[in-house]
Amino acid sequence: MADGRVVLALDPDRASATRKVVEAMGMPDLNDKNVLIKPNFNTADPPPGSTHMDTLRTMVELVKEETPRKVAIGDRSGPAKTVKVFQEKGVFDLGEKMGVECIVFDQMPKDRWTRIVPPGSHWRNGFLFAKPALEADAVIGLCCLKTHQYGGHFTMSLKLTTGMVHGSNMTELHTSIINQRNMIAEMNTAYTPTLLVMDGVEAFYEGGPMTGKRWKADMTFAAKDRVALDAVGVAALKMHGTTKKIENRGVFEQDQIKRAIELGLGVSGPDEIDIIPLDDKAAGVADRLREILDG
């Protein structure tokens, strides 16, 4: 059965919030495991355009406390070049200081990718997926709370998977106006994340994924289930006020979420989601999110 818990903290300090939600969710057993951390580094734009380094650094610290065998940070950026993004964000410096490997997916040779063809696929011939994500014992995703103006409608944990798919597949994805959101969900059939943290300290409620209209929400979420996390994230955007494409549909009528449910990637509806607030103030927000999920 899907784990529909979504932990919510209200805290403007990303390091503190990340630690709180992860500890409340419960760190998985990472002892002697190969761990891949997948941030949101499609560009180096300031958060929520990309993962904040405080969030990434804290997650590395939390993982290393669990005595893993190996820890890596991996991503493929776009439209920016991954190496440049890693340099501008300080990822290589962080990796060197903390003893973490930095994997630039788009510099990997052809044999480090594998073709995935999802069931009932809207992809013409499937897509190429990064083998480091398949070989890891645990994949931890760090996503942001934001809208997506180029067809995804929103970009959270399901859309985070795009950075594990080969750049040669992006033209098909970005030109598939009708099926793009179904294809985003289908990319997630390749793997199952072990833990997810979504930074909503600042969110884009319009625009995105690189720049947009900002909302100082002070929210951070942790979950294990991509469908549950994205559903709560969409509810948060609706709570604030967001784009018509999100406003005019129920949370579970959003294409990414509908297709992910069809594929069995997580919870199947709002009744399976348990929002866990970490204090009384967060409890009030959780109640509002629950009303939107149930609406």
| pLDDT per residue as tens digits for the range 218-265 | 999 999 999 999 999 999 999 999 999 999 999 999 999 999 999 999
Q: What integer pLDDT is reported at residue 107 of this predicted model?
A: 97
Closest by CA to 106, choosing from 66, 73, 151, 76, is: 76
- Provide the percentage of residues in the chain whose pLDDT is more than 70: 100
Q: How confident is the model at residue 120 (pLDDT cuts 50, 70, 90)?
A: very high
- Give the SS3 label for residue 118: coil
Q: What integer pLDDT is reported at residue 205 of this predicted model?
A: 98
In the predicted model, what is the mean pLDDT of residues 1-8? Answer: 93
pLDDT at residue 2 is higher than 90: no
CATH code (residue 190): 3.40.50.11440
Q: Which residues 6+ apart lie within 8 Å of 260 measured at CB?
A: 158, 185, 188, 226, 227, 230, 266
pLDDT at residue 1 is higher than 80: no
Give the range of the structural domain holding residue 116, as residue numbers without chain letter: 5-294
Strand segments (E) across 82-178: 101-104, 113-116, 127-130, 138-148, 153-154
Q: What integer pLDDT is reported at residue 104 of this predicted model?
A: 98
In the predicted model, what is the mean pLDDT of residues 132-155? Answer: 97
Burial of 134 from C-beta contacts in 10 A (0-12 / 13-18 / 19+): middle
Q: Kindly report the average pLDDT of the chain as a whole number.
A: 97
- Give the SS3 label for residue 113: strand
Q: What integer pLDDT is reported at residue 254 of this predicted model?
A: 98
In the predicted model, what is the mean pLDDT of residues 26-52? Answer: 98
Find the farthest-apart pair of alpha carbons in the chain and give their distance in angstroms, rounded. Answer: 51
> Between β-strands 274-277 and 5-10, what pairing exists: parallel, antiparallel or unpaired?
parallel
Q: What integer pLDDT is reported at residue 295 of this predicted model?
A: 85
In the predicted model, what is the mean pLDDT of residues 53-77? Answer: 98
Total number of domains constituting the chain: 1
CA distance 115 to 66: 32
Q: String of b and e for 78-92 (b: at least 16 CB within 10 Å)?
A: bebebeebbeebebe
pTM above 0.95, yes or no: yes
Specify the DSSP element, H or E, that contains 160. Answer: helix 157-160
In the predicted model, what is the mean pLDDT of residues 158-164? Answer: 98
Q: What integer pLDDT is reported at residue 24 of this predicted model?
A: 98
pLDDT at residue 174 is higher than 80: yes
Q: How confident is the model at residue 99 (pLDDT cuts 50, 70, 90)?
A: very high
pLDDT at residue 28 is higher than 80: yes
In the predicted model, what is the mean pLDDT of residues 108-116? Answer: 98
